[in-house]
Chains A and B, each alone.
Chain A
């Protein structure tokens, strides 16, 4: 059983990931923004983190940078529904700045479980 942190401001997205992971037998902690997510990250040991990009209080890119400073090894999966600035894709940016992998929304169960299995195995 692994401990997974989900940081996303969308209740139903958190619920979806949470239910899928619980069904896989993992323990889940949820945070609704980057600031809360970072506090959980510092407080507890996690095996995997899912982090959304566009969030209130503290957005995902800076959250990923700060979490990566705290811990170099935990796999962090950046998620986004496809927003862009002028020339940069948020997910590409997140990957460059510390995310281990990206998961574009919308994803289905197969894609979600595949990411979880891949990165938990690598972490183990």
Chain B
């Protein structure tokens, strides 16, 4: 074989080898392409699934939070963001205890504490919680939290779904308060009707008792025992008359005579009346920052409120040295405040506060003090109508009574009455200044 033949054969072998290599390369390229396509498809499927999960998490109304055995937040859904007012970047990696203090793993009393100890999940921690959570601005709110757990590739993960129930709690508290007020109102309404009827009958009976006694007394010698005795009858009849007048005030259903009343006038009249009725051992402190303020109300009724509350405060001192503080101020009732939850609408009110450092009351007594004829005073000392009248007046004025008391800790009555608008008062202040200048 010539050298040329040898070279030709070698060239053929190499050509075949190259063709084989090219074929193999093409085959592998195809395989690679197919594999790449498959990977891309899988990746797309994963991404689509992730997007679906994220959309579900973001769109359910309950917030979803996951944290690990160290209490470190790992997932914070869109709904959780809306509830807490926080972006996931602000909380992921942080402790769960900052959002829900009850779940603080550092707190040994928490059922979640065991999660840290030995990385074992405490099954007792699973379930539903009525708890308090904290928003970004520090506002605490009522929340319901359901806790579940799973183990993902050896990593203990706790899942919390959080529901903001502050609105429901608020609505429920308001409904409860309104129902309670309605029950009380119905009770007072029927008692008022009954009291009005009884008062009417008594007034008829008192006509002959008073007038015939007077006629008979006239016939008797002044200074005689009989004359004196009839004097006692007339004294008792006068007390009965006064009591019936109070009963009728309580049972009145009509609108009070609303007029513009200057605070200083009401306070002055009441203070002068109180001077004669409360003992010298009671120190009466009066604080009225805006005495020229005008309020809309029935002057007599306002005085009745003051006289009854201050009188009761003084009586609570039981003759010992003590004080009763009376103050008038304006107060803005905010949404979700204590007064708002008790039924007052948002807005400005006149706040009359009567506070004493007397004996205070237990819950049982405090629950009954607005009931007509309920009294803690001894027989003959009180009619049990004073606070029923106060309650009736405040109800009619669409105001509110807030009572705070405890045995040995004195009593504070806060009476909220609708305030005139700021504009009206400014106009009155201007008039006042103008007349002073004149």
Which residues of A come within 8 Å of B, CB atoms?
A: 10, 12-13, 15-17, 19-20, 23, 54, 80-89, 104-109, 112
Contacts and interface: CB of A to CB of B under 8 A. Distances in A.
Contacts of B202: 81
A82 B248 contact: yes
A12 B254 contact: no
B211 A81 contact: no
A77 to B, nearest CB: 13
A12 B201 contact: no
B203 A20 contact: no
Interface string B375-417: 0000000000000000000000000000000000000000000
Contacts of A80: 200
Interface footprint category on B = 20 to 34
**By CB atoms of chain A within 10 A, which of B209, B211, B248 has the most?**
B211
B207 A87 contact: no
Given A106-B241, A107-B211, A112-B211, A87 B203 contact: no
Contacts of B199: 81-82
A86 B210 contact: no
Contacts of B197: 83
Nearest to A104: B203
A56 to B, nearest CB: 14
A105 B211 contact: no
Interface in B200-221: 200-212, 214-215
A23 B216 CA distance: 12
B212 A88 contact: no
A12 B206 contact: no
B214 A108 contact: yes
A20 B196 contact: no
Q: Which 6 A-B pairs have the closest CB atoms?
A: A81-B203, A106-B206, A12-B208, A81-B200, A105-B203, A109-B214
B262 interface: no
B254 A88 contact: yes
B18 interface: no
B252 interface: yes
Contact of A13 (B200, B208, B248, B251): B208
B184 to A, nearest CB: 20
Contacts of A15: 208, 212
Given A10-B204, A20-B215, A84-B252, 6 more contacts: A23-B215, A54-B200, A88-B254, A89-B254, A107-B211, A109-B215
B250 to A, nearest CB: 12
B385 to A, nearest CB: 15
Nearest to B210: A108
Interface in B233-250: 237, 241, 244, 248
B364 interface: no
**By CB atoms of chain B within 10 A, which of A82, A84, A87, A112 has the most?**
A82
Nearest to B237: A106
Given A12-B205, A15-B208, A54-B200, A84 B214 contact: no
Contacts of A112: 211
B211 A87 contact: no
Interface string B291-330: 0000000000000000000000000000000000000000
A57 B241 CA distance: 28
B204 A105 contact: yes
A17 to B, nearest CB: 8
5 contacts: A15-B212, A16-B208, A82-B199, A84-B254, A108-B210
Interface string B17-58: 000000000000000000000000000000000000000000
Contacts of B210: 106-109
A108 B202 CA distance: 14
A105 B202 CA distance: 9
B232 interface: no
Contacts of A84: 196, 251-254
Contacts of A23: 215
Given A81-B201, A82-B248, A105-B204, A20 B253 contact: no
**By CB atoms of chain A within 10 A, which of B205, B252, B255 has the most?**
B205
A19 B197 CA distance: 27
Interface string B313-354: 000000000000000000000000000000000000000000
